[in-house]
Amino acid sequence: MKQLVTSLDKDGPYFKYICRLFPAMSNEKLKAGIFDGPQVRSLIRDTGFVQSMTILESSERSGFVLVVNNLGNNKADNYIDLVNCMLYKFKDLDVNAE
């Protein structure tokens, strides 16, 4: 989540949506992409969050969601493929995911 949020245009609709969704968070935490588990899960479930994205951002989000949903307490058998897919999509957004 951190790599995605830090790469966003801070004046764009996607970042502004996150700011409205978490009004109690400081600007510094939002800009640094510091989210806890419940906040990440609420972003994943939020349909307005997806609607505020560009097609490329939405594509990256789908890779991120697959990883989050399959790397919990019971790791998916294909987790390496899921992470590699997410990293590939991060590179499409010019996000440093290393």
pLDDT of amino acid 62: 75
What's the mean pLDDT when you consider all of the chain? 78
pLDDT of amino acid 86: 79
Region 32-41: mean pLDDT is 87
Q: Which residue has the higher pLDDT, 4 or 31?
A: 31
Cα angle 30, 76, 72 (rounded to 5 degrees) comes to 40
pLDDT of amino acid 70: 72
Region 25-47: mean pLDDT is 86
Region 24-48: mean pLDDT is 86
Domain boundaries, the chain: 2-92
The count of other CB atoms within 10 Å of the CB of residue 89 is 21
